[in-house]
């Protein structure tokens, strides 16, 4: 990790670097059997979050300015492609009157593609992003200012109407990264009747010897079907294995359906559930492990909820008034699946209340009602490679949050949490 000076210096360097690279990108370097291209991905996001611990007496209003710049260098020959993606990330945060900065310069991706091992086989080796299905279990977490990549290898088998990926990789570029777990997997995906209709099957194995000696297997199935005005999807996963001395038996499922009302309006409904259990007991471990997902657009844009010990109902509307414009509004209801387990956030870690208290009632007396969330968001595509977007969300605590967070809040007071963001993205 490298620490950089004040923000104006950082932004000046980034601007100069972007200008220089853009000049290079305008001319691809070609030879008879090779080609090199260069491009830049730039993203700027401002976020504002109030009352994240649900305790109004404790001032915890936070604002962040996130900057992320990725340089993409691709060199292609007849037999292979090399892709190099260094990444600069910067965060200037203000919390309760104080400010801090964090910056990182790291390699996000660096891999070699061998596309013609045979008529059916191809391979990718090195640091790479892994994304499968709706990314509920394996994704690149692109919303993050760092994202996620893995160090390993992947072999793909083309079966005409289907594809099989076999991979083994260790967690690479990601924050936080308390350990270096391994993820092994087989993921099969088949097109059914027409593009967009898919049937997926997978078997994933997570091995983490440092984080509780985790050895978990996850078989699952994902379906996607579209017909007339309907678009539907479902996914189910089961887990077995061991966490330390405890055997694992856990599960999760998802289902959604959307209906196109007319050219501009679409209505949708969705349900999600994942098992929970006693995280500190001696019997079977029943809390579902969501592995390495992209959760930001799955269970509320505030990222208060992950696919662990949860029940979630979602209803929403989508509005597209003109090409390049899109708006949406969702209402979420959240409950615990097991009242004695933690309430887990989008990262998979327990949510935190006042004074850093982990939100859990081991007796179960606080019940299962976590709360409700309203999300409103919109996006404008400025071109094929540039866009701006923004959103606002509000979370109303339920009885569980009021009791557990209130027990450590001054005067036992709890209140709603709000979040707002604006983001601009461009590819040069």
Question: Is the pLDDT at 220 greater than 90, yes or no?
Answer: yes
Token pair in block for residue 99: 């400010």
Contact present, 183 and 169 (Cβ < 8 Å): yes
For the segment 78-95, the average pLDDT, to the nearest whole number, is 94
Question: Is the pLDDT at 270 greater than 50, yes or no?
Answer: yes
Q: Residue 11 falls within a domain, yes or no?
A: yes
Please tell me which residue, 306 or 414, carries the higher pLDDT value. Answer: 306
Give the residue from 217, 352, 362 showing the smallest Cα distance to 280: 362
Question: Is the pLDDT at 133 greater than 80, yes or no?
Answer: yes
For the segment 27-56, the average pLDDT, to the nearest whole number, is 83
For the segment 98-107, the average pLDDT, to the nearest whole number, is 91
Q: What is the largest CA-CA distance in the chain?
A: 74
Question: Is the pLDDT at 76 greater than 80, yes or no?
Answer: yes
Give the CA radius of gyration of the chain.
Answer: 23
Percent of the chain with pLDDT over 90: 75
For the segment 419-426, the average pLDDT, to the nearest whole number, is 98
DSSP category for residue 351:
P
Q: Residue 2 falls within a domain, yes or no?
A: no
Question: Is the pLDDT at 383 greater than 60, yes or no?
Answer: yes
What's the pLDDT score for residue 125? 97
Q: Residue 186 falls within a domain, yes or no?
A: yes
Q: Residue 199 falls within a domain, yes or no?
A: yes
Q: Residue 216 falls within a domain, yes or no?
A: yes
Neighbours of 262 (CB within 10 A): 7
Q: How confident is the model at residue 17 (pLDDT cuts 50, 70, 90)?
A: very low
For the segment 292-315, the average pLDDT, to the nearest whole number, is 96
Q: Which domain holds residue 326?
A: 7-427
Please tell me which residue, 197 or 316, carries the higher pLDDT value. Answer: 316
Q: Residue 94 falls within a domain, yes or no?
A: yes
Neighbours of 335 (CB within 10 A): 19
Pairing relationship of beta strands 150-158 and 121-128 according to DSSP bridges: antiparallel
Task: Give dist(CA 367, CA 29) in Å, integer.
Answer: 63
What's the pLDDT score for residue 58? 82
> What is the CATH number for 36?
2.40.160.100
Degrees (nearest 5) of the Cα angle 13, 39, 428?
A: 80
Query: What is each CA distance from 266 to 213, 231, 288, 322, in whole angstroms?
Result: 45, 10, 32, 14
Q: Residue 40 falls within a domain, yes or no?
A: yes
For the segment 145-149, the average pLDDT, to the nearest whole number, is 95
Neighbours of 51 (CB within 10 A): 21
Task: Give dist(CA 358, CA 396) in Å, integer.
Answer: 18
What's the structural domain count of the chain?
Answer: 1
Query: What is each CA distance from 137 to 142, 152, 292, 298, 300, in whole angstroms?
Result: 14, 18, 5, 11, 17
Q: How confident is the model at residue 1 (pLDDT cuts 50, 70, 90)?
A: very low
Question: Is the pLDDT at 173 greater than 50, yes or no?
Answer: yes
Q: How confident is the model at residue 19 (pLDDT cuts 50, 70, 90)?
A: very low
Q: Residue 347 falls within a domain, yes or no?
A: yes
Token pair in block for residue 202: 């997978």
Q: Which of 10-24, 149-163, 339-353 has the lowest mean pLDDT?
A: 10-24
For the whole model, what pTM was predicted?
0.89
Q: Which of 141-150, 155-164, 192-201, 336-345 has the lowest mean pLDDT?
A: 192-201
């Amino acid at each position: 990790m490298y620490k950089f000076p004040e923000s104006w210096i950082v932004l000046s360097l980034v601007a100069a670097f972007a200008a220089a690279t853009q000049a290079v990108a305008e001319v691809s370097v070609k030879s008879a059997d090779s080609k090199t291209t260069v491009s830049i991905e730039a993203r700027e996001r401002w976020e504002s979050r109030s009352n994240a611990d649900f305790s109004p007496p404790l001032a915890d209003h936070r604002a962040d300015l996130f900057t992320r710049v990725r340089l993409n260098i691709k060199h292609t020959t007849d037999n292979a492609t090399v892709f190099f993606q260094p990444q600069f990330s910067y965060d200037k945060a203000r919390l309760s009157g104080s400010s801090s900065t964090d910056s990182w310069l790291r390699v996000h991706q660096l891999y070699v593609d061998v596309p013609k091992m045979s008529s059916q086989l191809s391979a990718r080796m090195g640091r790479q992003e892994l994304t499968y299905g709706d990314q509920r279990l394996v994704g690149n977490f692109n919303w993050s200012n760092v994202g996620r990549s893995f160090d390993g290898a992947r072999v793909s088998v083309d079966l005409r109407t289907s594809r099989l990926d076999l991979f083994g990789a260790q967690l690479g570029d990601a924050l936080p990264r308390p350990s270096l777990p391994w993820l092994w997997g087989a993921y099969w995906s088949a097109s059914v009747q027409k593009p967009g209709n898919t049937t997926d099957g997978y078997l994933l194995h997570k091995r983490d010897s440092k984080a509780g000696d985790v050895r978990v297997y996850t078989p699952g199935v994902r379906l996607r079907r579209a017909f007339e005005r309907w678009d539907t999807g479902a996914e189910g996963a089961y887990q077995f294995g061991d966490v330390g001395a405890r055997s694992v038996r856990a599960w999760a499922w998802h289902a959604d359906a959307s209906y196109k009302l007319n050219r501009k309006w679409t209505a949708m409904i969705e349900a999600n559930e994942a098992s929970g259990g006693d995280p500190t007991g001696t019997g079977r471990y029943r809390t579902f492990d969501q592995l390495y997902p992209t959760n930001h657009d799955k269970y509320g844009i505030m990222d208060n909820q992950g696919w662990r010990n949860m029940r979630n109902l979602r209803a929403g509307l989508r509005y597209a008034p003109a090409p390049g414009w899109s708006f949406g509004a969702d209402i979420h209801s959240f409950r615990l699946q097991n009242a004695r387990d933690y309430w887990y956030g989008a990262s998979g870690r327990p949510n935190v209340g006042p004074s850093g208290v982990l939100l859990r009632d081991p007796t179960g007396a606080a019940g299962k009602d976590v709360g409700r969330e309203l999300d409103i968001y919109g996006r404008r595509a400025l071109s094929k490679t540039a866009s701006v977007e923004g959103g606002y969300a509000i979370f109303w605590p339920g009885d569980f949050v009021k009791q557990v967070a209130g027990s450590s809040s001054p005067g036992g007071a709890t209140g709603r949490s709000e979040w707002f963001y604006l983001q601009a993205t461009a590819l040069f």
